[in-house]
Every structure is written in structure tokens, then in C-alpha cells.
């Protein structure tokens, strides 16, 4: 039987040896969270599930969309004997939401957060050649309003723009052997003016000496080594390495014209022997701000983005295959978009890998809907920091936005939402000073120094949209608020930052829908498909022709359950003539110049 989702799950830090643990696991739902008392830690579970698909999904073999407050997993795995002498790491790419993992009866890790990966060292618990038992408990009390759920519905059924929940394991589980002293995930920063890559490579050495160790990095282009650098690994906790790009080998990464350099990393012991090796990659590109323009490699590039929510009919939050991730990018590009807002979800890392390869622009976001913004918990920022750390090195990411459609009027009183928004903004700026950060997308800007300012404008009349945004050049921007009330009292003042309409369009179109089917889109439904084309072209033109807008984001790439305003149907089949949609977006944007 083939292993589902058997591609390497961490493409920006690849080691040769690994073992995929996807496939059949024992499984049991624990509605009363009494499993520990009932001995589920120590006995076989009652059912079976296919990992990495969540139990709500068809692909899991379960398909239970009720509230699954607590679920348990269990399986045995044999650690390859060839891994002798190395420490074994157990990795979870994503498990929603509050996870505890035991191996051979020993608790090895706890993690809170459904969007980000976590790992456990099995040192002293399991070793090469042994068969071990892994038990996982995932708690997911989705009705509490106290966790970042993204678009997962806290109500029983799908409703509005809230969709089927995901509980438990929803990304790959895998094993990896590492040397007692080994490298951690590198940070790769391109420096275009200096024509080099700046690397930070942590060295992990719990209880081991780092004395005399070194790290060697080799830059490759087309398989050919073009630069090498070596630094000591025992003076700094995270050694820093500069890898120059020789002028004759200098090729920039750009939207639609991506180029990736390969980077080999080696950790050397005091004798010069390589005791750990891995590969990563980098794209030589810069992101900056010039007045109201956002530039890539010093050039104003209008961002023709589409809202991508990353849902699938059979896998829910999990793509059914690696090819499905690629297909979503190529479908978007075929319709004329050059990037996406990865909306209310921290996407699988392999999506970003493919975006890197295909030259597809991405805004890194967080699935913050569901958190209690009036009583913010430290764990919210912790999870955002984990997402930033995971995705820092992807060249396709050209901006960050941690919050979406926050809503609270400004006042003299202390505002927990303002504190939370500022914390998310500062976290992104601290982790990554190389990209612009939007404090909160939509209509509640609370950080005066936010790099980007935006609005959501779902008016369906191109003339109205054009008129609303005509004053952007004079800093008289359109600011909207949820429900249309108190618009300007929801946001700090605009200071001339780059501005874009980060959600627009969203027109309903699904002629195959039956009258009794739940479905919706924004505004009045087009009466004919030609009316849709006219509306789409008019709305795009209204924003493309504005000399003070650096981009837009059309809602949305695909239908998602009852929300039927996508460019494609939920199963990714076509609705429209893509050539017409592409042609509507090809006009040179005013901010791009001649």
C-alpha cells in the first residue's frame, strides 16, 4: 500500500535520511476527554484512520464532521537500524490543536497550536533498531472562542464564510536521525545590493561539546559549486555565514521569473569530518517601499493577487496530493494572477516551496479568526512567531499580515485589541526586518507605523470603486469598517503608506447550483456570464488604473462549500474562460510606470 503524502515535508532543510509515518494509525474519538482515565494511553484504540488527513475528511476514512473535542492516535514504528549512533527526532508538521505525544509510555512533547510544526527528541526513549509505540492525544475544543481557528466553523454546520473543522493530525508525521551535535533550521536572507546570501545556522548540542566544530556552506548554480564559506561553530550560538554570488553567476528571483540557488550545508567536527549535512536553497531578491509602490528588486510590481483559502473537498485543510498544491498555483497564474493572500491559514510548507519554484508572490498570514481579541493570550503571539520562524526563508513571501478583519472602535480606554495588533506587528518586524508588515487586513488599523495600509471593498460597481479610491494620491484613502459604521474611528490615520484593496470582487457565479442549495457571494448576482466578465474587468481596471495603488486581491480562487464566488469550482473545475480573465488583468498598472 502506498504511503499518502509521501513527499519530503520540510523542503527548505533537507536531510538524506528520514522515515514517513503517514498511513494507517489506530484512532479513537474521546468526547468526554476521559481517555487518560480509561487507559487509552496503554491499550489498542477502537478504530483506524489514514494520516495525515483529519477525521472530518473523506480521505481519512472517517468523515465525522461533528464536534470532535478530543481524539487519540496510536501506531508502532521501527526505527531503522542504520540510524545507530544518532539521535532520533519525531516531527509533526501540523496537529490541531492542543497536542500531547507519548513514545513507549513516556511523554516526549506538548504543543499548543494547529498551524505550526513541532518536534520531539527520542533520546533515552527509543533508539535505532527498536520498534516503538507512538500515542497522540489532540484536544480541540472549538466552541470556546479561545483558539486561532481560521475559517473553521465554531457552529455545528458550515455557515457564511466558516467551513468544516479540522481536528488532530492534518500534516505529515515523520522521523529523522541527527548527530548528537547537529544543525538547526537555517535562516537564508538574500542581500541583492551586496550580491550575497546571509545565512544563520543554529547549532544544537544539548549536553555535547561544540568546541572545534565548524560549518561549511557551498552555493551551487545548476549543480556547479560557485562559492564556499566556512566559519567556526563554537564561538556563536548561531553561526553567521556570508555566501557571495559571483557577478557572472548573478540571477535574480522575480515573479514569473524565479531562479533558486542550491545551498549545501555541512557541520564539521574538530578533525574536519562531516557529521551532519543538509541542503537548502535561496532566491536572490529584495522587497522594498518607494513612496506608495512596493518594489521587488527595485522595480515597482503591481500585485495581482487572489484570495486563496486552501480548502479541499476531500481533504479539508490538507491537500490530497503534492500535485494539488502545484495545481492551485498554476490555476491561479492561468487566470492572470501573479500571487495570493494565503488567507486565514498557515499553508503547508510545500505550497511555499512550489511558490518559490514557480515565481508566485505570497503574503504570509495567520489563521487568527476564533481568538478572543478582548482577552488575548500569550499563546496567540507564540504561534505567530512559530509561523514566522518556519517560513522566513521562502523568497515567494513578500509580506506578512498576522490579523484579519479585527473590529473595535478606537477610544481613550486601554484596548486589548490594540495591544494584540501591536504585538503581532512587532513580532513580525523583529523576526523579519526584510519584508513589509501589514498590522491587520481590512478595516481596523491600530499601528501608526504599519508598513502597509489596506481596505476591503466589495462594492460591485466599478464606477463606485473608482470614485471611492480616487483620492489615494492625495492621502484621502477609503477606510471601511465592519457593518459600515464608524469607519474612521476604527483605524489610526493614514500616513501615506503603500495602499491596496486586499479584498474585492467576490461575485457569485455557479449556474449549476440548485435553488435549494446554500450558496452566496458578494453583491447582486450577475444575470449572465457576460455580465460577470464585464464586472470583473471593470473592477480590475478601476484598481489597476489608480496611480497610488500597489496591488489588489480578488476574492477568491475557488468556491469553498457554500461560498460560491470563486474563479474555479470547489473541485477546481473551470467556471470561466480563463483567457478573458487573464486579459482583464494584463493591462499595465499605473503605478508600474511606462
In a domain, residue 37? The reply is yes
SS3 of residue 291 by DSSP: coil
Cell of 172: 505529515
For 470, the domain range is 287-592
The yes-or-no verdict on residue 410 having pLDDT over 90 is no
Please tell me whether residues 146 and 238 are part of one structural domain.
no
Average pLDDT on 86-92 reads: 97
Question: How far apart are the C-alpha atoms of 565 and 436, rounded to whole Å?
Answer: 29
429-455 pLDDT tens trace = 999 999 999 999 998 899 999 999 999
Domain-terminating residue out of 120, 148, 178: 178
What pLDDT is recorded for position 483? 46
Please tell me whether residues 152 and 270 are part of one structural domain.
no
Average pLDDT on 394-409 reads: 93
**Residue 62's domain is classified under what CATH number?**
2.60.120.260
% of the chain beyond a pLDDT of 90: 87
Question: How far apart are the C-alpha atoms of 508 and 30, rounded to whole Å?
Answer: 40
Q: What is the mean pLDDT of the chain?
A: 94
Average pLDDT on 488-502 reads: 89
Question: How far apart are the C-alpha atoms of 408 and 40, rounded to whole Å?
Answer: 44
Please tell me whether residues 296 and 159 are part of one structural domain.
no
Question: How far apart are the C-alpha atoms of 102 and 65, rounded to whole Å?
Answer: 26
Please tell me whether residues 552 and 432 are part of one structural domain.
yes
In sequence order, what are the residues at sequence separation of 6 or more whose Cβ sits closer than 8 angstroms to the Cβ of residue 495?
448, 453, 475
In a domain, residue 11? The reply is no
Please tell me whether residues 432 and 490 are part of one structural domain.
yes
The yes-or-no verdict on residue 206 having pLDDT over 90 is no
The yes-or-no verdict on residue 484 having pLDDT over 70 is no
What pLDDT is recorded for position 230? 97
What pLDDT is recorded for position 467? 95
**Per-residue pLDDT band at 339 (split at 50, 70, 90):** very high
108-129 pLDDT tens trace = 999 999 999 999 999 999 999 9
252-292 pLDDT tens trace = 999 999 999 999 999 999 999 999 999 999 999 999 999 99
Please tell me whether residues 90 and 228 are part of one structural domain.
no
User: From residue 253, how far is each of 147, 264, 284, 335, 395 by CA, in Å?
Assistant: 37, 19, 5, 22, 8
Domain-terminating residue out of 236, 265, 282: 282
Please tell me whether residues 421 and 518 are part of one structural domain.
yes
In a domain, residue 336? The reply is yes
Please tell me whether residues 127 and 229 are part of one structural domain.
no
Closest CA to 342 of 373, 300, 387: 387
Domain-terminating residue out of 224, 258, 282: 282
Query: Facing residues of 302 across strands?
Result: none
In a domain, residue 311? The reply is yes
Cell of 110: 506538548
SS3 of residue 563 by DSSP: strand
Please tell me whether residues 149 and 236 are part of one structural domain.
no
**Residue 558's domain is classified under what CATH number?**
3.20.20.80
- Spatial strand order of the sheet with 240-244 comes to 187-191, 196-200, 240-244
Burial class, 235, CB count within 10 angstroms (exposed 0-12 / middle 13-18 / buried 19+): exposed
**Residue 232's domain is classified under what CATH number?**
2.60.40.10
% of the chain beyond a pLDDT of 70: 98
139-163 pLDDT tens trace = 999 888 789 999 999 999 999 899 9
CA angle 320, 326, 332 (to 5 degrees): 115
Question: How far apart are the C-alpha atoms of 54 and 396, rounded to whole Å?
Answer: 28
DSSP class of 488: G
Number of domains, the chain: 3
Average pLDDT on 485-503 reads: 83
Average pLDDT on 552-563 reads: 97
Question: How far apart are the C-alpha atoms of 291 and 591, rounded to whole Å?
Answer: 10
**Per-residue pLDDT band at 485 (split at 50, 70, 90):** very low
In a domain, residue 153? The reply is yes
What pLDDT is recorded for position 493? 87
Strands 70-78 and 437-438: unpaired
Residue whose cell numbers read 489498542: 44
Please tell me whether residues 267 and 312 are part of one structural domain.
no
Please tell me whether residues 490 and 381 are part of one structural domain.
yes
Residue whose cell numbers read 527548505: 12
**Per-residue pLDDT band at 480 (split at 50, 70, 90):** confident
The yes-or-no verdict on residue 488 having pLDDT over 60 is no
**Per-residue pLDDT band at 486 (split at 50, 70, 90):** very low
In a domain, residue 549? The reply is yes
SS3 of residue 137 by DSSP: strand
In a domain, residue 14? The reply is no
Q: Which of 194-208, 309-323, 504-518, 580-594 has the lowest mean pLDDT?
A: 504-518
In a domain, residue 36? The reply is yes
What pLDDT is recorded for position 481? 63
Cell of 254: 522575480
349-383 pLDDT tens trace = 999 999 999 999 999 999 999 988 888 888 999 99
Q: Which of 304-308, 520-524, 571-575 has the lowest mean pLDDT?
A: 520-524
Please tell me whether residues 225 and 155 are part of one structural domain.
no
Amino acid at each position: 500500500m502506498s504511503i499518502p503524502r509521501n513527499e519530503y515535508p520540510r523542503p527548505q532543510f533537507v536531510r538524506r535520511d528520514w522515515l514517513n509515518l503517514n498511513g494507517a494509525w489506530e484512532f479513537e474519538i474521546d468526547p468526554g476527554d476521559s481517555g487518560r482515565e480509561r487507559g487509552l494511553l496503554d491499550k489498542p484504540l477502537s478504530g483506524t484512520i489514514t494520516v495525515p488527513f483529519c477525521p472530518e475528511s473523506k480521505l481519512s476514512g472517517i468523515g465525522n464532521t461533528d464536534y470532535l473535542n478530543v481524539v487519540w492516535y496510536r501506531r508502532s514504528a521501527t526505527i531503522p537500524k542504520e540510524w545507530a549512533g544518532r539521535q532520533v527526532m519525531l516531527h509533526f508538521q501540523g496537529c490541531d490543536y492542543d497536542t500531547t505525544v507519548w513514545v513507549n509510555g513516556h511523554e516526549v512533547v506538548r504543543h499548543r497550536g494547529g498551524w505550526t510544526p513541532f518536534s520531539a527528541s527520542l533520546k533515552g526513549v527509543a533508539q535505532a533498531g527498536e520498534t516503538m509505540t507512538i500515542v497522540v492525544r489532540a484536544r480541540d475544543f472549538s466552541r470556546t472562542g479561545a483558539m486561532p481557528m481560521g475559517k473553521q466553523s465554531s457552529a455545528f454546520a458550515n455557515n457564511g464564510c466558516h467551513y468544516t473543522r479540522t481536528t488532530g493530525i492534518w500534516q505529515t508525521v515523520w522521523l529523522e536521525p541527527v548527530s548528537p551535535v547537529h544543525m538547526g533550521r537555517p535562516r537564508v536572507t538574500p542581500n541583492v545590493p551586496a550580491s550575497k546570501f546571509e545565512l544563520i545556522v543554529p547549532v544544537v548540542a544539548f549536553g555535547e561539546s561544540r568546541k572545534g566544530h565548524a560549518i561549511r556552506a557551498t552555493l551551487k548554480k545548476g549543480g556547479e559549486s560557485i562559492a564556499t564559506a566556512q566559519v567556526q561553530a563554537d564561538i556563536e550560538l548561531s553561526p553567521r555565514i556570508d555566501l557571495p554570488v559571483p557577478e557572472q553567476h548573478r540571477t535574480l528571483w522575480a515573479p514569473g521569473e524565479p531562479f533558486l540557488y542550491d545551498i549545501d550545508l555541512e557541520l564539521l567536527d574538530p578533525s574536519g569530518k562531516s557529521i551532519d549535512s543538509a541542503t537548502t536553497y535561496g532566491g536572490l531578491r529584495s522587497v522594498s517601499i518607494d513612496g506608495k509602490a512596493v518594489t521587488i528588486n527595485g522595480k515597482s510590481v503591481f500585485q495581482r493577487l487572489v484570495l486563496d483559502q486552501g480548502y479541499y473537498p476531500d481533504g479539508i485543510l490538507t491537500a490530497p496530493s503534492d500535485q494539488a498544491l502545484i495545481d492551485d498555483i498554476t490555476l491561479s497564474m492561468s487566470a492572470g494572477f501573479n500571487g495570493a493572500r494565503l488567507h486565514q491559514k498557515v499553508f503547508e510548507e510545500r505550497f511555499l516551496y512550489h511558490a518559490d519554484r514557480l515565481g508566485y508572490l505570497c503574503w504570509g498570514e495567520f489563521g487568527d479568526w476564533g481568538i478572543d481579541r478582548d482577552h488575548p493570550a500569550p499563546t496567540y503571539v507564540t504561534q505567530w512567531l512559530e509561523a514566522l520562524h518556519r517560513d522566513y526563508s521562502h523568497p515567494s513571501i513578500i509580506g506578512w499580515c498576522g490579523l484579519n478583519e479585527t473590529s473595535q472602535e478606537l477610544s481613550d480606554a486601554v484596548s486589548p485589541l490594540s495591544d494584540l495588533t501591536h504585538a503581532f506587528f512587532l513580532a513580525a518586524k523583529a523576526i523579519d526586518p526584510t519584508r513589509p508588515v501589514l498590522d491587520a487586513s481590512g478595516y481596523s488599523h491600530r499601528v501608526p507605523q504599519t508598513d502597509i495600509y489596506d481596505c476591503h471593498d466589495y462594492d460591485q460597481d466599478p464606477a463606485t470603486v473608482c470614485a471611492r479610491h480616487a483620492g489615494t494620491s492625495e492621502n484621502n484613502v477609503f477606510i471601511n469598517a465592519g457593518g459600515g459604521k464608524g469607519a474612521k474611528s476604527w483605524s489610526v490615520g493614514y500616513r501615506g503608506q503603500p495602499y491596496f484593496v486586499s479584498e474585492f470582487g467576490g461575485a457569485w457565479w455557479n449556474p449549476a447550483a440548485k435553488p435549494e442549495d446554500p450558496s452566496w457571494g458578494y453583491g447582486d448576482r450577475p444575470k449572465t456570464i457576460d455580465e460577470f466578465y464585464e464586472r470583473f474587468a471593470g473592477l480590475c481596471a478601476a484598481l489597476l488604473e489608480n496611480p497610488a495603488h500597489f496591488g489588489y486581491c480578488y476574492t477568491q480562487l475557488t468556491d469553498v462549500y457554500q461560498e460560491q464566488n470563486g474563479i474555479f469550482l470547489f473541485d477546481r473545475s473551470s467556471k470561466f474562460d480563463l483567457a478573458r480573465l487573464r486579459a482583464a488583468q494584463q493591462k499595465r498598472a499605473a503605478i508600474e510606470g511606462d
